[in-house]
Amino acid sequence: MEHKVLHQPFELYVSDMECWNERPLIYHFFEIVRILEGKGMREVNRNKFPYHKGSIFLFTPLDCRGFDIETPTRFCSIRFSEVFLKQCKNEQDRERITQWLKQLEHIFSHHNRFQELLVKNPGDCDMIATLMSSMVDEYEQKQSYHEENLQHFVTLILNILARNVADTAGSTATGLESEPLINRMLLYIHQHINLPEKLKIEHLASHFNLSANYVGEYFRKFAGESLQHYITHYKIKLVQQRLAYSTLTISQIAGELGFTDESHLSRQFRKYSGVSPVEYRKSQREKVKN
């Protein structure tokens, strides 16, 4: 699978496409996309779903993305790395943005739950459209303080997206029984990925009112892989994101994601990635430089 990296902390552009000639690529940055015209299918992590005028997507690093265009499509794309967010002058803003990204992460990280971000409030849709239009002008004109202004625009858009995600999560929680069981299990795993005790088969069986002997069988049937394999790979994906896009130490990442210690993380990471965390972080930073 081919990869695409961001060569500077922030990029913004409006693009027209009549067809998508590239194979789906793995993108190593955050991206907010708003469809301005056209319709078709958006392919994400081997899963396809429709897009149309007004659709809004938020993608996290390591998502595999592509288009299957039905009618000529025009879209606005905001691409940024965590480096860009860390450039915010205000420490409180940086902390708030980090928390927003963590909230969004578990919803947009896996194809079994991936869906278009539904911004239901018409006022929020209009506000995002206005902000993105203003960002295009600011980015193209590059007047004084344009970088600071772009950071504020991204902050505002993330704020609007975050409250819509929070509303969606709230409605999902209140109507949880209508969600397929596998979706509820995946969401639970994502929310408790840093708490190994809550991911044990016995705990999951009790929480979802299933037989302990049936949990693994059910998960493999509907997720296509074993429960332990899924949990480990999901953790490794989160580790890769943090190594590439944060300044956290390996020890801090291990603590955040529920590894026993730094050595435990390093052993697991090398087993599934083929390189050590230090080597992976170095290779990702060299890609950005090149």
DSSP codes, 201-239: HHHHHHHTT--HHHHHHHHHHHHSS-HHHHHHHHHHHHH
Q: Is the pTM of this model over 0.85?
A: no
Q: What does the angle CA 117 – CA 48 – CA 33 come to, to the nearest 5 degrees?
A: 40
- Residue 205: exposure state from Cβ atoms within 10 A (0-12, 13-18, ≥19): middle
Number of Cβ within a 10 Å radius of residue 178: 8
Report the length, in residues, of the chain.
290
Tell me what pLDDT residue 266 has: 95
- The answer to whether the Cα torsion of 265, 269, 270, 272 is positive or negative is positive
DSSP codes, 37-70: EEEEEEEETTEEEEE-TT-EEEE-TT-EEEEEEE
From first to last of its 290 residues, what are the pLDDT tens digits of the chain?
A: 455 655 567 788 888 887 766 666 666 677 888 888 999 988 776 667 788 888 887 777 666 677 788 899 988 888 877 666 666 666 666 666 666 566 555 544 443 344 555 677 788 888 988 998 898 888 888 888 888 888 788 878 877 877 776 555 444 444 445 557 887 888 788 888 889 999 999 999 999 999 999 999 988 888 778 999 989 988 998 898 788 877 889 999 999 899 999 999 999 999 988 999 999 999 887 776 65
Quickly name the fold that domain 177-289 has: Arc Repressor Mutant, subunit A (1.10.10)
**CA distances in angstroms from 30 to 37, 61, 89, 157, 161, listed in the order given:** 22, 6, 20, 13, 13
Q: What does the angle CA 101 – CA 105 – CA 269 come to, to the nearest 5 degrees?
A: 110
State in words which class domain 3-174 has: mainly beta
Would you list the domain boundaries of the chain? 3-174, 177-289
